[in-house]
């Protein structure tokens, strides 16, 4: 079995709508393997696919033809310069399949549509006021997202992923009955519904499409309204006990970001004023202390920082963490600030097309 360099977390629950609107079939294990290799490595020749997969040349040819026929992969430009006929690599078709991701925030809803290569094709933030019915707001957000899809995108929609907040806020009552939540969404969309904790889903998105594609063991830190940690070992995300994996003293600036989202805008300045610099310093020290505590039990060489802060602020935080943790490689996540929604959409694509192990 090849060493796949990612394995996103399984959904907490999967509600499958049989006989749904989507006509695309669930792929076989070997087809999932080929698609997963192309996610990890990019364009590859048939020979390279055979080397990494262990499948015969004939099997590779059959699978490639099937995936091309269904529009999931496309042929690249012929590579010349070798003895014999030119080599024609194949790559994922960015519009070959789509995943719809919905992330429940304390006071809003983030919705994204991503393609098979992880590129965000559509994103929207919808505020949820204190007197709004959260379930109606959720159904409205999903309906608005589906209404933005053209016929081809709708036909290639793999499913709907739902990312749940650690702090449910306005969603407390709705999340008390998870079966009702997923049944309503599945009934409205006719799609499989995948449900996972938001930060766990975000870590999975980094493993599949982001900065951790070539890293199997790392600590994932997500800075949002709360700052939360996930330990990823052998490409599997471990959540741990929720109350102990937060860094509460980071909440002041992160809550400010959450307040901006509640007001209905995703804008957050890259400027580092005195208050932000102080927050970065305190945040770096607290995160590094948590990582050093963890290293007493598990040796990891990589730390990945993601979440709401814009690139300039996050990069400053990463730089200070690197100075405090010279024995660890610290990097910024590649997935956007709505990484929990992207993670939810990743669950849908993985459930349909990619390997889980």
> What pLDDT score was predicted for residue 263?
44
Q: Is there a domain that residue 282 lies in? A: yes
Q: Is there a domain that residue 60 lies in? A: yes
> What pLDDT score was predicted for residue 265?
46
- Residue 240 zone, left/alpha/beta (φ > 0; ψ -120 to 50; rest): left
244 and 290 assigned to the same domain: yes
> What pLDDT score was predicted for residue 96?
94
125 and 139 assigned to the same domain: yes
The domain of 114 spans: 98-201+340-352
CATH number of the domain to which 116 belongs = 3.30.420.40
Q: Is there a domain that residue 20 lies in? A: no
> What pLDDT score was predicted for residue 313?
85
186 and 286 assigned to the same domain: no
The helix (run of H) or strand (run of E) holding residue 230 is strand 227-233
Which SS3 state, helix, strand or coil, does residue 213 take? coil
107 and 75 assigned to the same domain: no
136 and 193 assigned to the same domain: yes
Which pTM does this prediction carry?
Answer: 0.85
CATH number of the domain to which 37 belongs = 1.10.10.10
Contact 50, 64 (CB under 8 A): no
d(CA 203, CA 8): 8
58 and 114 assigned to the same domain: no
154 and 53 assigned to the same domain: no
Q: Is there a domain that residue 357 lies in? A: no
Q: Is there a domain that residue 208 lies in? A: no
Provide the pairing of β-strand 108-115 with 193-197: unpaired
* Tens digit of pLDDT at every position of the chain (357 positions): 333 434 456 555 444 443 333 334 457 889 999 999 999 889 999 999 999 999 999 999 999 999 999 999 999 776 766 655 667 899 999 999 999 999 988 778 999 999 999 999 889 888 887 788 888 888 899 998 899 888 888 999 999 999 988 877 767 777 776 667 778 888 888 899 998 989 999 999 999 998 888 888 999 998 877 788 899 988 888 865 443 344 544 555 555 554 444 444 445 666 777 777 888 888 899 899 989 988 888 888 999 999 878 888 889 999 999 999 999 999 999 887 788 999 999 999 998 898 765
Which SS3 state, helix, strand or coil, does residue 267 take? coil
Picking from 92, 124, 141, the residue at the C-terminal end of a domain is 92
> What pLDDT score was predicted for residue 50?
93
CA angle 294, 299, 301 (to 5 degrees): 105
195 and 344 assigned to the same domain: yes
Q: Is there a domain that residue 314 lies in? A: yes
240 and 295 assigned to the same domain: yes
> What pLDDT score was predicted for residue 16?
42
Picking from 37, 59, 92, the residue at the C-terminal end of a domain is 92
> What pLDDT score was predicted for residue 128?
82
110 and 59 assigned to the same domain: no
Count of structural domains within the chain: 3
Q: Is there a domain that residue 12 lies in? A: no
348 and 296 assigned to the same domain: no
d(CA 118, CA 94): 8
Q: Is there a domain that residue 14 lies in? A: no
Starting at the edge strand found earlier in the chain, the sheet holding 13-15 runs: 13-15, 193-197, 157-164, 98-105, 108-115, 120-127
56 and 88 assigned to the same domain: yes
> What pLDDT score was predicted for residue 12?
53
Picking from 92, 107, 124, the residue at the C-terminal end of a domain is 92
Provide the pairing of β-strand 98-105 with 108-115: antiparallel
User: And the tokens for 299?
Assistant: 């040796």
């Amino acid at each position: 079995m090849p060493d796949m360099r990612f394995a996103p977390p399984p959904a907490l629950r999967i509600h499958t709508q049989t006989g749904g609107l989507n006509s695309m079939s669930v792929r076989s294990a070997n087809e999932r393997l080929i698609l997963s290799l192309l996610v990890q490595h990019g364009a590859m020749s048939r020979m390279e696919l055979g080397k990494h997969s262990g499948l015969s040349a004939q099997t590779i040819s059959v699978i490639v033809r099937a995936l091309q026929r269904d529009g999931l992969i496309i042929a690249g430009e012929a590579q010349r310069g070798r003895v014999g006929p030119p080599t024609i690599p194949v790559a994922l078709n960015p519009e070959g399949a789509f995943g719809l991701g919905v992330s429940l925030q304390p006071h809003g809803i983030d919705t994204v549509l991503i393609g098979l290569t992880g590129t965000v094709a559509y994103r929207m933030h919808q505020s949820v006021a204190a007197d709004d019915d959260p379930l109606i707001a959720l159904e409205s957000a999903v309906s608005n997202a589906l209404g933005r899809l053209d016929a081809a995108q709708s036909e290639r929609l793999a499913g709907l992923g739902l990312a749940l907040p650690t702090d449910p806020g306005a969603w407390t009552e709705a999340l008390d009955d998870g079966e009702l939540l997923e049944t309503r969404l599945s009934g409205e969309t006719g799609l499989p519904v995948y449900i996972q904790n938001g930060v766990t889903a975000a870590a999975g998105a980094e493993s599949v499409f982001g900065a951790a594609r070539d890293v199997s063991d790392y600590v994932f830190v997500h800075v949002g309204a709360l700052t939360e940690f996930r330990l990823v070992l052998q490409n599997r995300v471990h959540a741990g006990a929720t109350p102990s994996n937060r860094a509460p003293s980071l909440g002041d600036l992160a809550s400010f970001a959450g307040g901006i989202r509640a007001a209905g805008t995703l804008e957050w300045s890259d400027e580092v004023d005195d208050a932000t610099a102080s927050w970065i310093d305190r945040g770096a020290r607290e995160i590094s202390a948590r990582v050093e505590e963890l290293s007493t039990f598990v040796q990891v060489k990589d730390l990945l920082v993601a979440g709401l802060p814009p690139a300039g602020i996050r990069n400053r935080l990463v730089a200070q963490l690197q100075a405090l943790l010279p024995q660890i490689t610290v990097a910024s996540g590649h997935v956007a600030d709505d990484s929990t929604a992207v993670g939810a959409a990743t669950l849908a694509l993985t459930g349909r097309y990619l390997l889980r192990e």
